[in-house]
Copies of this chain bind each other. A is one copy, B any other.
Amino acid sequence: MSFRETLQYIVENVGGGLGAVIMGYDGIPIDEYVKEDGALDVQLLTAEYAAVLKEIKRTVEVLKTGVLEEVAINTEFSIAIARVINDDFFVVLVMGSEGNFGKGRFLLRREGPKLGEALQ
């Protein structure tokens, strides 16, 4: 499966998925799959969250609690789960507030390592 096919698989199978993006901490996307009829601006949201994730990564390095693995940011209208792929990249899944949080975490945990292998 290509990056895009993997992202599409996650978004279409999670329940409530709106889009998923593989990106670097600079906020530049490597690849993405975004549903056309989604209620949220997935690209804008993930780009803004990238800056926050960079800050979290730095904080975690200071705290020495091992490598950062996952960050979830849930608001009134959005669920976003970021799964770290390697030291440079992460994948973010964006869902509406009715999205299946547990399944989202599961799919990212399962598919993340495959994305990491393909990115090497």
Q: Tell me whether A44 and B63 are in contact in the complex, defined as CB-CB below 8 angstroms, given that A52-B52, A55-B52 are known contacts.
A: yes
A61 to chain B, nearest CB (A): 10
Report copies per complex. 2
Which chain B residues border A65 with CB–CB below 8 Å? 40, 45, 75-78
Which chain B residues border A41 with CB–CB below 8 Å? 63
Q: Is A119's beta carbon under 8 Å from chain B?
A: no
On A, residues with C-beta under 8 Å from B are 40-41, 44-45, 48-49, 51-52, 55-56, 59-60, 62-63, 65-78, 97, 102
Q: A45-B63, A63-B75, A66-B77 are in contact. List 16 more A-B contacts (CB 8 A).
A: A44-B63, A48-B59, A48-B63, A52-B55, A52-B59, A55-B55, A56-B73, A63-B78, A65-B77, A65-B78, A66-B78, A67-B75, A68-B74, A70-B72, A70-B73, A70-B74
